């Protein structure tokens, strides 16, 4: 009986450590995507595809991209800083993680089912982004499911 309890305890500790690793990997990647997104318009020459007479459209695209980048980076950084509290099952912090999870699920579904990335001009980049967003969404779903399970216990 004692050996069985020790085995369960070891298994539980390994699972918690795995969730902790997935949590930090997911929020760090999310923060890096937020920083990267600030530079996407120049890296992929977004403006080369738009006629310059549509200056209001370009400004709107820039504002949307900057706001998205800042929110993604800010929320992810906040979750990195507050990671110990989230992993200690602080309900309020976990809600922010749930929101970020929903954002990535939406991104993965959008790219996978509704409007996949165009393969031009760089097919490998488009496919890489699709796979990465799907993997990140799955990782975040696993962590969120673990949080939900822990919240129900409390």
- Render 84-108 in DSSP notation, one character per residue: HHHHTT-HHHHHHHHHHHHHHHHHH
Q: Could you list the residue range(s) of the whole structural domain that residue 83 is in? A: 2-153
Its pTM stands at 0.87
Query: What pLDDT, in 10s, does the model give residues 5-29?
Result: 777 777 778 889 999 999 999 999 9
Dihedral sign, Cα of residue 50, residue 110, residue 40, residue 97:
positive
pLDDT of residue 18: 95
pLDDT, greater one: 146 or 14: 146
Q: What's the number of domains the chain is made of?
A: 1
Query: What pLDDT, in 10s, does the model give residues 61-119?
Result: 889 999 999 999 999 999 999 999 999 999 999 999 999 999 999 999 988 887 666 66
pLDDT of residue 108: 94
């Amino acid at each position: 009986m004692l050996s069985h309890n020790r085995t369960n305890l070891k298994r539980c500790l390994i699972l918690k450590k795995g969730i902790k690793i997935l949590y930090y990997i997911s929020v760090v990647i999310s923060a890096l995507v937020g920083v990267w997104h600030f530079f996407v318009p120049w890296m992929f020459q977004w403006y080369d595809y738009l006629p310059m007479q549509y200056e209001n459209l370009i400004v709107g695209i820039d504002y949307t991209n900057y706001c998205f980048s800042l929110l993604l980076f800010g929320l992810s950084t906040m979750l990195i800083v507050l990671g110990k509290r989230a992993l200690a099952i602080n309900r309020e912090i976990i809600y922010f993680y749930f929101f970020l999870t929903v954002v990535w699920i939406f991104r993965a579904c959008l790219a996978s089912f509704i409007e996949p990335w165009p393969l031009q001009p760089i097919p490998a980049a488009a496919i890489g982004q699709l796979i990465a967003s799907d993997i990140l969404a799955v990782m975040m779903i696993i962590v969120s499911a673990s949080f939900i399970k822990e919240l129900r216990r409390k």
